[in-house]
Amino acid sequence: MIAQFIDGPLWYFSSIVFVLGVLYRIFLIIKAGVKPDLAVPRQNGTFGAVRTMFSRFVPRRDIAKRGRLQVVAGYMFHLGLFVLLFFAKPHVDFFAERVTGVGWTPVPYWVFIVSAELAFAGLLLLWLYRLMHPVTRLLSSTGDHVGTGLVFLVMLSGCLALAHSFEALRLTHLLLAEMLLIYFPFSNLMHAFTFIFSRGFTGALMARKGINA
């Protein structure tokens, strides 16, 4: 009964909350509006917006040095998670069956293992840093820890489910993923979508002034 609920109604409910929640947050941003810039630009803002969306993936030299641990751990976590989420075989099958209708080539098992290790190590390093460094300790809210904790549990249960192939573990993983989907639009996990706006706005504004931001 619980299994059917997790596999069925809860999955649809969490997916709807996720999609509508994300769209609502994006709507709120757009609704707030931006006044047109009347200053004569030096360059086209649109090109700058696109450029900054990509250029911010590479940290500035000074920051790469001063914030080395966060930069490296951040890359480990995000790249590892990206591979796990979109290229682990069970996820590819799941997307094909329930979301996209078509599948794609998953990564080999050893790549999955490496990605999982990178993602875990990165996430734990970032979490420890958040707890221990005076700056991140001051900035961090309960929401930051809830988000990190949920992502950690989803990853942990997913790896255990793949390693042991127990139905109970698969259901636990799905239940936690569903909780994450519901929590997502109400948290700063939203940065996964809104970073495009942030980088775009800044890139456009600065490009108009002639600066590659």
Partner 1 sequence: MSKNFLAGKAELNQQIDARVSAYFSSCVHCGLCAEACLFYTETDDPRYTPIYKLEPMRRLWREEHTFWGKLAVKLGLAKSLTEQDFADWEELVYDSCTVCGRCSMVCPVGNDLAYMFRKQREGFSKAGYAPDGLKAATDRALTIGSPMGVTLHTLKATLKHVERSTGLSIPIDKKGADYMTLFSSMEIVNFPEYIESIARIFDAADVSWTISSTAFEATNSGIQIGSKEAAAEIVNRVVTAAEDLGVKHVISPECGHAYTAIRWEGPNLIGRSYPFKVIHILELLDQLHREGRLKLSGTTDIPLTFHDPCQIVRRGGVVEPPRNLLHVVASDFVEMRDHGDMNWCCGGGGGVSANERAEELRVKVFDRKKQQLDELGVTTMVTACANCRLVLEEGLEHNDMLMDIIGLSELVAEHLSE
The residue ranges that bind partner 1 (CB under 8 A) are: 24-25, 28-35, 37-40, 42, 52-53, 56, 59-60, 62-63, 66-67, 70-71, 74, 130, 133-141, 144, 186, 188, 190-191, 194-195, 197-203, 205-206, 209-213
* Minimum separation from the CB atom of position 24 to partner 1 (A): 8
* Minimum separation from the CB atom of position 148 to partner 1 (A): 10
CA distance 34 to 30: 8
CA distance 13 to 207: 42
Tell me whether residue 7 or residue 144 sits nearer to partner 1 (CB atom).
144
**Helix H or strand E segment including 167:** helix 167-183
Tell me whether residue 49 or residue 159 sits nearer to partner 1 (CB atom).
49
Q: b vs e for 68-91, b when ≥16 Cβ sit within 10 Å of the residue's Cβ?
A: eebeebbebbbebbebbbebbeeb
CA distance 209 to 202: 11
Tell me whether residue 158 or residue 203 sits nearer to partner 1 (CB atom).
203
* Minimum separation from the CB atom of position 72 to partner 1 (A): 12
- For the record, the structure tokens of 65 come out as 């040095």
Q: What is the DSSP letter of 57?
A: T
Tell me whether residue 164 or residue 191 sits nearer to partner 1 (CB atom).
191
Are 77 and 126 in contact by the 8 Å Cβ rule? The answer is yes
* Minimum separation from the CB atom of position 159 to partner 1 (A): 24
CA distance 137 to 139: 6
Amino acid at 177: A
* Minimum separation from the CB atom of position 67 to partner 1 (A): 5
Determine how many CB atoms are found less than 10 A away from the CB of residue 171: 17
Tell me whether residue 59 or residue 106 sits nearer to partner 1 (CB atom).
59
Tell me whether residue 114 or residue 211 sits nearer to partner 1 (CB atom).
211
* Minimum separation from the CB atom of position 121 to partner 1 (A): 17
